[in-house]
Structure formats: structure tokens, C-alpha cells
Chains A and B, each alone.
Chain A
Amino acid sequence: MLVAPQVAITLVFFFWPAFDSLRLSLYRSSPFGDKLIWAGLANFERLFGDPAYLRSAVTTFLFSFLVTFAGMGVALLLAALANAKIRGLGAYRTLLLWPYGIAPAIAGIIWLFIFHPSYGILPYALSFVTDYQFNWFLKGWVALLLITVAAIWKQFGYNLAFYLAGLQAIPESVLEAASVDGAGSIRRFCTMTFPLLSPVTFFLFTLNMTFAFFETFGLVHSVTQGGPGDATTILVYKAWKDGFEGLQIGISAAQSVVLMVIVILLTAFQFRYTEKKVVY
């Protein structure tokens, strides 16, 4: 049977663990970790009553929205400014797309050095401007900025390349018609260009959100390890840490279930809106 390999892998490595996560989320480990004790929904109650978990959720959403909106916003702005018929677009595309190949963890390590309080070029440059200690080892917001910048850097060329391609696909005659009607360039952008770009925007939005939510674990693990304190403890990192370092299987499984709900919502959102709100 040709579908057998696919079905086998799906059952063993996707469905079994997923159901196991659901099951484990209803248990807690005994003090010695050798037995599972039925806990009902207590894990979820504990999770949502835990300020650390709620902080982690806020951090994750803040981080994801920053990465998505800042990255896409700047890319859109530059693409709009650079929107002429471009010669040599292929060459630019190569020069913009390569960072996509860099692992988030590696991007993070490069930016970690740039931000390094003793040797990094950024704190050094800032030291001429201000006395503020721009030290991510001590200041939570600097650490969050560090991983945000690293994530945006990795995604940026990709966002820009797609916006450029999207803009090139808009027929010039449409915009010329609008300018004959007397629309200024900003007005033209808001009423014509931006709506016409909505498929690209939507595509990049889901892609960046999924990336920021689920693929930045390596970035956090290799750079800040969730710190300082829990300033950069994103949800996926917390689920891993509570399960593997804290050995709280039940709590970690409950967090996995919450993440599962988030993925399902993201996917549902994607399907709903690709059908409706987007202008083609």
C-alpha cells in the first residue's frame, strides 16, 4: 500500500504523542517522579493561575507581534519607496533571500555578539550617545530586543522580496488611472496599492506569526535561555523547560495542549481569511 509509510509515521509520531499529551495533561507526577497521579483539570487551573505562565504568554505575544508587524511594516515601506520597474531584480532577490537559510539559533548567536556588553559593536556605539547600561544580561527589555532584532533580521529580506514581487505584479495602468483621478501618492498607496497587496500581506502575516511563535525556540535556547529572569521565556521554551529541566510532565503536557489550541486557531484563521477578506 502506497500510503502506508505516511500513515504509519503519522500515527506513531503525530497522533500517539498528541493523544499522550492530552492524557498526560490530566495527570501529575508523584514526588519521586515514578508514578502518575490523576489530577483532572488541576494542571490547567494551576497553569492559568500561575503569574509566570501568564507573563510568558504576554512575552510571546509581544515578541510575535513585534517581529511580525515591525518586520513587515519596514519591508512594506521600503518596497513602496523602491517601487519602480526594477532592473536586476533577480540579483537583488539573491542578495535579500539568503538570510532565510540561517538557523534562528545561529542568527541569534551573531546578534548576541553584536549586543555583547563588553565586546559588542552596538553597546560600544551607544556608549558615545548615552550613559545607559545597554546590557542584555541585566535588562530584560534589551534581551527581548536582542531576540526580536535577530528574528526580524532573519525574516526581513524574505518579507521585502515578497512585497517587491507583489508590487511589480500590480499593473501600472491601475495606478496611473488613480493618479489621473487626482489621487496623491500616499492616498494612492492607501486606497489602491495596499488593498491590492493584501494577499501578500496575509501570506507574510501567517508565515511570520507561525515563525515567531513556534520556530524561535532555538533562538531563545541558544542566546538568552529565557532570561534574564524570565524576560524572554516564550511559551514553547517554557513548555520544554518545565518538562525537561523541571521534570513536571503534567504541567508541560498541559502547556503543549494550550499550544495545540493556538496552532488550531492560527490554522483556522488562515483558512477563514484566505477565503474571504482578501482582495485578489
Chain B
Amino acid sequence: MGGHGSSGAGTIAVSVDTTAARDLPRRRPDWNSRITHGILLASVLVLAFPLYYAFVISTQSLGEVSSLPPKLLPSTSMIQNYADAWQRAKMGRMLVNSAVMALGIALGKIAISLLSAFAIVYFNFRGKQVVFWMIFVTLMLPVPVRIVSTFQVISVLGWVDTYWGLTVPLMASATGTFLFRQFFQTLPDSLAEAAQLDGAGPLRFLWSFVLPLSRANIAALFVILFVYGWNEYLWPLLITNRPEMRTAVIGIEALVPRSGSQLPEWNVIMAAAMMVLLPPVAVIVFMQRWFVKGLVEIEK
């Protein structure tokens, strides 16, 4: 269950776009806007400090990390630490696994929910109500409520330690299906009629008419699902045993020293943490417009 896991029926009017508000002439005295910016900047800085601190640690030598008082400026061991993390913790392989899982889940979910939403909106078939109801119920069955039994299903299928196991079971998506369903219902009927006049079959209609129109929704869903897939923790922990099938997010836990006999290599741990958090954060920052759209749409 991801950040998008809970979805409700009510329409919540959260307008994130404020272009209109920004164009208004400013009427308040200037000190007011200074307070505003002061508060916002302070929040931004407080929020950024832990990340900055983690980055600083990832550039220090072991001696610097364990010395008091803590040093708050970057040092010179950065390359060494990142190389250490890459080689010893096998970050390369784990990042590939994470990428496969995140992309597999995101693209798979999008494809599957596009198809089912298309079927639900444009076709009448027996059992439509049942299918709709089934998809709805999956909202109430996130991974934590089926811990032991899910593992048994995966081992019956022989999917433990496979990419199939990491991706396919998480591809069913009520939120995605509802999102596309809602969007398809806003498309005019004349579109389907025009396609029929052109002699296009249903799949051709989906591919060349509906899909291009859905681009914004697909992008929005992609950002949310990529972040969800990359950061999913319980699922890969349940169904992978071999170290080479672990994803980066769970792999990092193995680096944390649990007893006094392990070296407290916090610089290497933080280097690994930086590598793990960079892809999803980058996706959010660079696809921010879609990310915000996704957050708002998915909760509708």
C-alpha cells in the first residue's frame, strides 16, 4: 500500500495551482510578506537540514564521523565512501533491482488499470458489477493484512526471489483503475463514434484516440507509482531471501551496525542512503507538475 493506498469517494477540492492568486496585486504591507517568506524559508531549511547532515556525513572519514563535536561541513572522503558503498554493499545490483521493481510496478499498474478502466467504461459485459466490486475491495487489503498467507501463495507459485514476485502481485490497482475510469467518463461520446466511423476497432480506439489523451494522467500516475515501488519495504522483505535479489531500500538495513563488534561506518551507510534516495526524489523534483496532479487526483 503506497501513499496512494487510501482513496475515497468524496471529491476534495484541493486547488494546488495558484496562478490566479499570484497575479493579484499585493495589498498587504511589505513586512507581512517578509514574515511569510521568513516562516517558509525557515521551514524549508529545517526540513533540509537532516538531508544536508546526512550528505555531510557521507563525505567524511570514519575518524571525522565519530569525533565530537560533530563537524557540519563536507570533507574529502566522498569518493572513497561512495566507492566503498558501491562495492561492499553491492549497491549496483540492488539499485538495478529497485529500478526493475519500481518501473515494473509503475508501468504494469498503468497498463492493467488502463485496460480495465477502458473495459468498464466502454463495454457492457456480464459480471461488470462483480469486477468493479472486486477491484474496490483490494483497497482494503494492503500488504500488511496478508503477511503470512501472501508469502505462502508466492512460494506455491515458485516466485520467491524472482522479478515476477517483486512486481506482478503489486500490479493490481484500484486507485489507477478509478482514476482512468473517471477520466474516460469525461471524454465525449462523439469520440468513440468518430473512431467507429473511421473503422477503428476497440483496441485501435484505445491506442490511437484514448491513450494520447490520457498522457497527463499516465504521467501523474507514473510519478506516484514509481516512488511507491521504489520505496516499498515489506514486500521485497517478505519474498526475497538471496542477497542479490534484495532491493536497495531493504539492503541498507543490513549495513546498520547492530552490535558493538561492527565498525560504525556511518559515512558509508550515509553514502548508500544518498544513492537510494536520489532516484525517487529526483523523479519528484523533475516531474513536480505531474506529481502534484497525481497526489490530488488519486485521492479523489
Binding site for B on A (CB under 8 A): 1-3, 5-7, 9-18, 20-21, 24, 78, 81-87, 89, 92-107, 109-114, 116, 118-121, 124, 153, 156-157, 160-162, 165-166, 168-169, 199-200, 202-203, 206-207, 210-211, 214-215, 217-218, 221-223, 225, 236, 239-240, 243-244, 249, 252-253, 256-257, 259-260, 263-264, 266-267, 270-271, 273-275, 278, 280
Contact = CB atoms under 8 A, between A and B. Distances in A.
A228 to B, nearest CB: 13
Contacts of A112: 256
Contacts of B112: 5-6, 9
A236 B233 CA distance: 12
Given A95-B48, A100-B3, A110-B50, A165 B65 contact: no
B228 to A, nearest CB: 9
A202 B135 CA distance: 24
Given A10-B138, A263-B145, A82 B39 contact: yes
Interface in B254-300: 256, 258, 264, 266, 269-270, 273, 276-277, 280-285, 288, 291-292, 299
B150 A82 contact: no
Nearest to B144: A236
A124 B140 contact: no
B134 A97 contact: no
A259 B33 CA distance: 46
A84 B33 contact: yes
A107 B269 CA distance: 13
A169 B15 contact: yes
Interface stretch (B88-96, B114-122, B182-190, B213-221): B114-122
Given A20-B153, A24-B149, A214-B142, A203 B172 contact: no
A41 to B, nearest CB: 18
B13 A280 contact: yes
Contact of A10 (B43, B120, B172): B172
Contact of A111 (B6, B13, B50, B123): B50
A158 B248 CA distance: 24
Interface of B, helix, strand, loop or mixed by DSSP: helix
Contacts of B6: 206-207, 210, 266-267, 270
A16 B116 CA distance: 20
B151 to A, nearest CB: 8
Most buried by B among A24, A218, A236: A218
Interface residues of B, number: 106
A263 B6 CA distance: 9
Given A5-B116, A200-B12, 19 more contacts: A6-B113, A10-B138, A14-B137, A14-B141, A15-B134, A89-B22, A93-B292, A96-B47, A110-B54, A119-B66, A162-B16, A168-B21, A207-B6, A225-B258, A236-B234, A256-B148, A263-B145, A266-B6, A274-B9
A263 B36 contact: no
Contacts of A267: 6, 8, 139-140
Given A105-B250, A211-B3, A218-B249, A85 B50 contact: no
5 contacts: A1-B119, A1-B125, A13-B168, A98-B284, A199-B12
B172 to A, nearest CB: 4
A165 B19 CA distance: 11
A97 B39 CA distance: 16
Contacts of A16: 149, 153
Given A105-B249, A206-B6, A243-B148, A260 B141 contact: yes
B253 A274 contact: no
